[in-house]
Amino acid sequence: MELPLRYILTVSELTQQIKETLESRFSDVWVEGEISNLRIPPSGHVYLTLKDDFSQIRAVLFRMRSRGLRFIPEDGLHVVCRGRVSLYEKRGEYQIIIEEMEPKGIGALQLAFLQLKERLEKEGLFDPRHKKPIPAFPQTIGIVTSPTGAVIQDMIQIIQRRFENVSILLYPVRVQGEGASREIAEGIRFFNKTKQVDVIIVGRGGGSIEDLWAFNEEEVARALYHSKLPVISAVGHETDYTISDFVADLRAPTPSAAAELVVKDKKDLEKHLQYLRSRLENLIFTSLEGARTDLSSLIRYLSDPKKRIEDYLLRLDDLIHRAKKSLVWDLRRKNEKKLHLIQRLELRHPLYAIKHLEASLSGKEDGLSRGMRHVMEMRKQALRGIIGKLESLSPLAILERGYSITRKLPHLEILKHATQVRVGDRVEVKLYQGTLLCGIEETHES
């Protein structure tokens, strides 16, 4: 039987055919999943894994494509990707080469806005302590906005209507599109460098989030934060919020509102000044009337100097009389007090005190003598008792009754048992009177 011919592929050939099949079959697909194992090496390419509850697939977003992303990919983010399936031949692994990526359930711009807002807030760019006060009466206002359109015209009209003496400097910029954020930041830095204005208004009219995106760029936010001049953010409508609104020193709901906030209404100020002038005139008039009344009283009071001298003389006589009576009464009281003190001093005379102390001392001396004799007798009786006890316990008393103390020579060890000596040892026998030196001839154990 003849065997069929076999066509054998190399690994590279098989891999190449699989790659061609995958790329032709899945040349443009949409895939959604959760990002994991995100990695961005120095090359700038974004490597990640897309996964769901049951499967996962590797993916790569090349650097040129990643630059177009409005948000920052993160692990755990659910995204929708468009791309093509390919195969990495060196490892034999298939992967998705991503062309587009957007977050699932939220727009890419909205996500980018939230990510940048959170990061700048952690850095302290929104801290109220960094906010600068808006000057109450600015002489020159700098406006960073588009030179065309209704926004700049409305602001100029409102400012000139409210206070025509205020000067306005316009720094023309693009407010949307490529390069708009850079121009806005340059405008803020220009006014800070030239110091020609007292306050800056940065703004534009309403629009979609894409239209307002230049005011959500980090470059604009940092230019606002580092501005030494106070800045008002006036972007879009009242419901629109941008990063510039959070960083600026004051947010105005609209550009027109910013123009009303930055300058006071001159007519209202004139009315207020007129009111203050009227109050001041009334206060001055009231003060003058009071001074006039006081002056009239003083004139009446000083109209007859002779009468006033007579009044003073009468008052002086009265004071002298009252002083004499007071002096007599005071002398009488002091005399009575002196007599009382003399009596008290007599009672406290030293001789009287000495006699009293001598009597007290004599009684105490007798008591002390009796106490000392009693104590001495008690101490003698106690001493006799102690001497009796010592005599009864003395070794000499025991020896006196016929006992002796035997000590082994030469160390004078007191002997209590016959086993402590041997025949030939020398001992000392202490008697009541005298001492015996003896030799051991024989020992007996009891």
Sequence length of the chain is 446
User: Given phi > 0 = left and psi -120 to 50 = alpha, else beta, which region is 18?
Assistant: alpha
pLDDT of residue 147 exceeding 80 = yes
Judge whether 266 and 164 are in contact, CB under 8 Å: yes
User: Which of 64-73, 143-152, 300-309, 388-397 has the weakest average pLDDT?
Assistant: 300-309
pLDDT-above-70 percentage for the chain: 94
Higher pLDDT, residue 400 or 385: 385
Q: Which two tokens stand for residue 247?
A: 């960083």
Reported as a pLDDT band with limits 50, 70 and 90, residue 191 is very high
Q: Is the dihedral angle over the CA atoms 81, 87, 88, 92 positive or is it negative? A: positive
CA angle 64, 67, 68 (to 5 degrees): 105
pLDDT (tens digit per residue) in 152-183? 888 888 888 888 888 889 999 998 888 888 99
Q: Do 105 and 68 touch, CB atoms closer than 8 A?
A: no
Does residue 188 contact residue 227 with C-beta atoms inside 8 Å?
Answer: yes
Q: d(Cα 413, Cα 407) in Å, to the nearest integer? A: 5
Average pLDDT over residues 106-127: 78
pLDDT of residue 193: 92
Sheet holding 231-235, edge to edge: 167-172, 140-145, 199-204, 231-235, 250-251
In the predicted structure, residue 253 carries a pLDDT above the cut 60: yes
CA pseudo-torsion sign 148, 153, 154, 156: positive
Q: What is the pLDDT of residue 105?
A: 61
**Structure confidence at residue 165 (pLDDT):** 82
Distance of CA 118 to the CA centre of its chain: 22
Q: Which amino acid is located at 383 in the chain? A: L
Written as one string, the DSSP assignment of 112-142 is HHHHHHHHHHHHTTT-GGGPPPPPSS-SEEE
pLDDT value at position 401? 75
Predicted confidence band at 199 (pLDDT cuts at 50, 70, 90)? very high
- Written as six digits, the tokens of 115 are 């990510």
Average of per-residue pLDDT across 10-14: 84
- For 11-105, the fitting CATH number among 3.40.50.20, 2.40.30.30, 3.40.50.150, 2.40.50.140 is 2.40.50.140
pLDDT computed for residue 136 by the predictor: 85
Say what the pLDDT of residue 187 is. 92
3-state secondary structure 334-383: HHHHHHHHHHHHHHCCHHHHHHHHHHHHHHHHHHHHHHHHHHHHHHHHHH
Q: How far apart are CA 102 and CA 108, in angstroms?
A: 6
Assign 208 to helix, strand or coil. Answer: coil
Residue pair 308/298 in contact (Cβ under 8 Å)? The answer is no
Mean pLDDT computed over 61-84: 83
Helix (H, G, I), strand (E, B) or coil at 203: strand
Contact yes or no for 216/235 (Cβ under 8 A): no
pLDDT at 186: 93
Please check the confidence at residue 56 and state whether its pLDDT lies above 70: yes
- CA of residue 323 relative to chain centroid, distance: 70
Give the pLDDT of residue 302: 64
Q: Domains of the chain: which residue ranges?
A: 11-105, 136-264, 400-439
Q: Considering the chain, what is the average pLDDT of its residues?
A: 83
CATH 2.130.10.10 assigned to domain 136-264? The reply is no
**What contacts 144, CB < 8 A, 6 or more positions away?**
171, 173, 184, 187, 188, 191, 200, 201, 202, 203
pLDDT reported for residue 277: 85
Residue 241 — very low, low, confident or very high, per pLDDT cuts 50/70/90?
Answer: confident
> How many Å apart are CA 338 and CA 349, to the nearest integer?
16
The structure tokens listed for 265 are 């209404």
First-residue to last-residue Cα distance in the chain? 128
